[in-house]
């Protein structure tokens, strides 16, 4: 039994409840002459006498004095074997290793125990180069790398800080909601779980978010709810997504859009890891209306690390670009002045590649990239007039885009990112956060009216009457109480004030053509005493990826997930998914089509 005295002495030690006395990183000259027991992985050996022991926290060198037996044991022990070293800490004096945290000392080995011998032919070593495939198959070795150790510990710290803010400072209640649920309207992108008897023939769905549950909790009087929620989305191999992911899910009653945004902002800043204070954004995060984001940046998630905005041409200087037979009322020319962007990045081949990418999209419009040092961009106009008008310096670049209005903004939005990236003018190691607000409640997608956010989002009070208009154009004028958090050009999360009125909700579902019977439980709930409420969901994997890379929003989320799947949904380590047994098929009453084609991972 650990005595009380001993507990209090070592309370903050990560060696408490273990048989080691210290972790590999914590020994220093103050421990000189002390007898210690440390345990870890054999990561380096030299002259059969020196070796480095590594654990999750760091490394320490050990030395075998004249002891042939131990030396031969060391010699024949493979790297990555797990060792126990009992010995005395000695100072290394002049021989100290300044590059190593524990470099002042080493352990003079008295006893060396091989706790578990590793295979002589390891498929890979931690922190050494290996293919992505090998690293996923032997994830348990890759997890020993400094990069993954750091990422998982950073994630744990961040999540814990979020909980402390929500529970201790803001009175939120952590409520777990089910993941075996019913399908939601359409049922798209939801994994299914066949039910056993007595419900055989039916199936649960794994929800994409606890959206319905958190609203039901508000109806249930749980006022301030949060959950670090596991969610599921079957999107096949779409982008950098995992079939299961985690979101920080928050909902609050009797609040406003501004109330939720402030809460989330305070939560993020309060939870920001101390080690990353140098990239912590300032509060308040700017609020940008959707229409302004589209007008100035051509996207609803602008990357504010890029210093340029789309500009109005002011005047008819570029009207010569309009073909004579083009009668469109929507024709526009807009420019992007990329100060300081003239450089190696803007080669002809790069520009052709951009052209190709832009043209692949139906929104793509014509554009020209003009550099003062290169002459004669346009033959029909004196280029100096353009240089003067936009006050272009030698190292500036002017991007002109013309054509159908919406496409012009889209094209310049894309080029804003391309040029900044190529010119290396996107700020590095910074985090710029802002809110995009005042989204339209509905949008048109493939000729159909859809919710911009989701069908539970409330309109602005002043626009509520427009919900009952028959003209779709009027519906598109409704502004929703919907807000997105955008960081470094990526949507990190979104939220809204929800519709609390059952009749309004029913009407919106009708407008959207959603099947009413699937949502009856929610409509019922709203008519049995539902408070006004709103909330938010933060994509945790993506956010931690941003943190762990000090601001790179393109870091793959698998770098911050302990056991990720490949793009094709495979777990290379355990070879999931697998075939099912007869017994399982029988229990759930299912028949599965034989695998169509064996898939590369």
Q: For residues 19-38, which are near a copy of itself according to CB under 8 A?
A: 19-20
CA distance 183 to 179: 11
Return the SS3 of 117: coil
Please tell me whether residue 45 binds a copy of itself under the rule CB under 8 A.
no
Site for a copy of itself in 48-77 (CB under 8 A): 55-57
Contacts of 423 (CB under 8 A, 6+ apart): 338, 340, 341, 342, 343, 345, 346, 397
Specify the DSSP element, H or E, that contains 599.
none
Q: Could you say which residues in the range 262-321 bind a copy of itself, by CB under 8 A?
A: 262-263, 266, 284
* CB of 116 or CB of 349, closer to a copy of itself: 116
Is 274 or 324 the residue whose CB approaches a copy of itself more closely?
274
Q: Applying CB under 8 A, does 549 fall inside the site for a copy of itself? A: no
Interacting positions 131-190 with a copy of itself (CB under 8 A):
138-144, 148-149, 152-153, 155-157, 159-160, 163-164, 167-171, 173-183, 187-188, 190
Q: Which of 93, 315, 447, 594 binds a copy of itself (CB under 8 A)?
A: 594
Exactly one of 66, 129, 131, 198 binds a copy of itself (CB under 8 A); that residue is: 198
Q: Which is nearer to a copy of itself, 135 or 416 (CB)?
A: 135
Report whether 83 contacts 115 (CB < 8 A): yes
Instruction: From residue 373, give the alpha-carbon distance in Å to each of 224, 352, 369.
Output: 60, 19, 12
Question: What is the Cα–Cα distance from 490 to 428, expressed in whole angstroms?
Answer: 15
How many chain residues are in contact with a copy of itself, going by CB under 8 A? 153
- For 59, phi then psi, to 5°, come to -135, 155
Least distance from a copy of itself to the Cβ atom of residue 574, Å: 5
Q: Which of 112, 162, 209, 213 binds a copy of itself (CB under 8 A)?
A: 213
Tell how far CA 503 is from the center of its chain: 36
Ramachandran area for residue 462 (φ above 0: left; ψ -120 to 50: alpha; else beta): alpha
Pick the piece of the chain touching a copy of itself (CB under 8 A) from 201-209, 370-378, 445-453, 460-468.
201-209
Q: With binding defined as CB under 8 A, does residue 119 bind a copy of itself?
A: yes
> Considering beta carbons, is residue 169 or 356 the nearer one to a copy of itself?
169
Q: Which residues 512-531 are close enough to bind a copy of itself by CB under 8 A?
A: 521, 524-531
User: What does DSSP say about strands 173-174 and 224-232: parallel, antiparallel, or unpaired?
Assistant: parallel
Q: Is position 128 an interface residue for a copy of itself (rule: CB under 8 A)?
A: no
Applying CB under 8 A, does 444 fall inside the site for a copy of itself? Answer: no
Q: What is the token pair recorded at 28?
A: 């220093």
Task: Check residue 595 for interaction with a copy of itself (CB under 8 A).
Answer: yes
Calpha distance 98→171 (Å, rounded): 47
Q: Please, what is the minimum distance in Å from the beta carbon of residue 354 to a copy of itself?
A: 31
DSSP code of 167?
A: I
Q: Tell whether residue 197 is a contact of a copy of itself (CB under 8 A).
A: yes
Helix H or strand E encompassing 408: helix 405-423
Asked if 462 touches a copy of itself (CB under 8 A), the answer is no
Across the strands, what pairs with 403? Answer: 332
234 binding a copy of itself? (CB under 8 A): yes
Q: How far is Cα 285 from Cα 265, in angstroms, rounded to an integer? A: 7
């Amino acid at each position: 039994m650990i005595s009380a005295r001993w507990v209090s002495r070592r309370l903050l030690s990560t060696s408490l409840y273990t048989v080691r006395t210290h972790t590999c990183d914590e020994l220093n000259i103050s421990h000189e002459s002390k007898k210690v027991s440390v345990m870890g992985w054999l990561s380096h050996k030299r002259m059969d006498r020196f070796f480095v022991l590594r654990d999750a926290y760091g490394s320490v060198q050990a030395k075998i004095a004249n002891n042939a037996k131990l030396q031969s044991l060391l010699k024949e022990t493979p790297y990555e074997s797990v060792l126990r070293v009992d010995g005395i800490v000695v100072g290394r004096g002049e021989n100290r290793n300044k590059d190593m945290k524990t470099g002042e000392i080493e352990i003079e080995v008295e006893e060396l125990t091989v706790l578990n011998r590793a295979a002589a032919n390891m498929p890979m070593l931690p922190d050494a180069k290996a293919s992505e495939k090998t690293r996923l198959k032997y994830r348990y070795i890759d997890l020993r790398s400094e990069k993954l150790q750091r990422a998982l510990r950073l994630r744990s710290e961040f999540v814990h800080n979020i909980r402390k803010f929500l529970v201790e400072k803001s009175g939120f209640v952590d409520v777990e909601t089910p993941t075996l649920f019913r399908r939601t309207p359409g049922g798209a992108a939801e994994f299914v779980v066949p039910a056993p008897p007595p419900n055989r023939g039916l199936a649960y769905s794994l929800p994409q978010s606890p959206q319905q549950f958190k609203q039901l909790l508000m109806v249930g009087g749980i006022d301030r709810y949060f959950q670090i929620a596991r969610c599921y989305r079957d999107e096949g191999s779409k982008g950098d997504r995992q079939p299961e992911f985690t979101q920080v899910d928050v909902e609050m009653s009797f609040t406003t859009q501004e109330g939720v945004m402030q809460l989330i902002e305070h939560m993020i800043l309060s939870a920001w890891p101390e080690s990353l204070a140098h990239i912590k954004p300032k509060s308040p995060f700017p609020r940008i209306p959707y229409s302004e984001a589209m007008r100035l940046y051509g996207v609803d998630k602008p990357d504010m690390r890029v210093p340029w905005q789309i500009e109005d041409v002011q005047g008819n200087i570029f009207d010569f670009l309009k073909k004579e037979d083009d009668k469109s009322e929507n024709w526009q020319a807009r420019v992007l002045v990329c100060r300081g962007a003239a450089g190696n990045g803007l080669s002809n081949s790069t520009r052709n590649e951009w052209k190709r990418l832009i043209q692949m999209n139906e929104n793509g419009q014509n554009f020209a990239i003009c550099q003062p040092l290169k002459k004669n961009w346009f033959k029909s106009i004196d280029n100096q007039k353009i240089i003067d008008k936009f006050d272009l310096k030698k190292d500036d670049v002017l991007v002109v885009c013309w054509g159908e209005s919406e496409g012009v903004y889209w094209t310049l939005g894309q080029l804003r990112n391309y040029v900044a990236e190529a010119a290396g003018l996107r700020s590095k190691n910074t985090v710029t956060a802002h809110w995009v607000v005042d989204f339209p409640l509905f949008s048109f997608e493939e000729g159909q009216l859809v919710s911009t956010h989701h069908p539970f989002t409330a309109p602005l009070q002043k626009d509520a009457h427009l919900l009952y208009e028959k003209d779709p154009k009027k519906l598109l004028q409704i502004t929703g109480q919907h807000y997105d958090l955008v960081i470094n050009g990526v949507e990190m999360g979104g939220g809204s004030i929800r519709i609390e009125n059952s009749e309004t909700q029913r009407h919106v579902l009708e407008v959207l053509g959603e099947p009413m019977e699937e949502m009856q439980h929610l409509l019922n709930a709203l008519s049995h005493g539902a408070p006004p409420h709103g909330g938010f969901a933060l994509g945790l994997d993506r956010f931690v990826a941003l943190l762990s890379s000090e601001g790179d929003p393109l870091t793959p989320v698998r770098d911050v997930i302990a056991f990720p799947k490949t793009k094709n949904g495979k777990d290379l380590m355990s070879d999931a998914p697998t075939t099912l047994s007869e017994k399982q098929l029988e229990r759930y009453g299912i028949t599965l089509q034989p695998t169509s084609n064996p898939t590369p991972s």
